[in-house]
Structure 1
Amino acid sequence: MADPADWNNGGWAWLEGMTPTEAVPAGDPAPSFARCFAGPDGARVLATLRAMTLDRTLGPDASDAALRDLEGQRRLVALILALTARGQGA
């Protein structure tokens, strides 16, 4: 399995440019994410994560720290959703 520390080297290029019909590279976490979030419980977890982050807005009085924190959460949830979709062949 690929070292997670290597996933950040050079950005997220390893997520881009792959089609679902391509062979899954060794160490690709996408199939694991797809299996983890398959079924009704997985769908419920993803829906909850989406509601808590991507579908959430902060008011105009939100601090810089609160905005940065929410953006970090959104990025992580977006990555989880992308890996899950790619692992499902979507």
Structure 2
Amino acid sequence: MADHRMADPAGWDWLDGAPATATGGDPAPSFARCFAGPDGARVLGTLTAMTLERTLGPDASDAALRDLEGQRRLVALILALTARGQGA
């Protein structure tokens, strides 16, 4: 099975606003264009509901909590990049 992890030695720093020369510069405008319009708003709303607005019960395993927290972090980054690309 192929390894789908990022091979880029720069890692994920470009998501935090660092220049991303290997990916063509600041990704925020691309995120803003991608999620513009009613379809983009629906996708962002669905991702938010599935992650940021979701809670787990007291019987949730450590693995489930870590998985959801990772999903939340990714959605938060998508929302932040989209907002920055829109000039918000």
Shorter-chain TM-score bucket reads 0.7 to 0.9
Q: What is the alpha-carbon distance in structure 2 between the residues aligned to residue 12 and residue 33 of structure 1?
A: 13
Choose from 9, 14, 18 the match for 1:14: 18
Q: Specify every segment of 5 or more residues in structure 1 that has no aligned partner in the other structure, as ranges.
A: 16-25
Percent of aligned pairs with the same amino acid: 80
| Structure 2 partner of 1:21 | none
Of 29, 32, 43, the residue aligned with 1:31 is 29
- Following superposition, which runs of at least 4 residues in structure 1 exceed 4 angstroms of deviation? none
CA distance in 2, matches of 1:27, 1:80: 16
Question: Which amino acid counterpart does residue 42 of structure 1 have in structure 2?
Answer: G
TM-score, with structure 2 as normaliser: 0.77
Counterpart check, 1:48 vs 2:46: yes
- One-letter code aligned to 1:60: P
| TM-score when normalising by structure 1 | 0.76
Cα displacement (A) at 1:5: 4.7
> CA–CA distance in 2 between the matches of 1:5 and 1:43?
32
Aligned length: 76
**Contact conserved, 2:17 with 2:26, CA < 8 A, in 1?**
no
Instruction: Report the Cα distance in structure 2 between the residues aligned to 1:58 and 1:78, rounded to whole angstroms.
Output: 18
CA distance in 2, matches of 1:13, 1:49: 21
Distance 1:7 1:74, change over 3 A: same
Q: CA RMSD in A?
A: 2.1
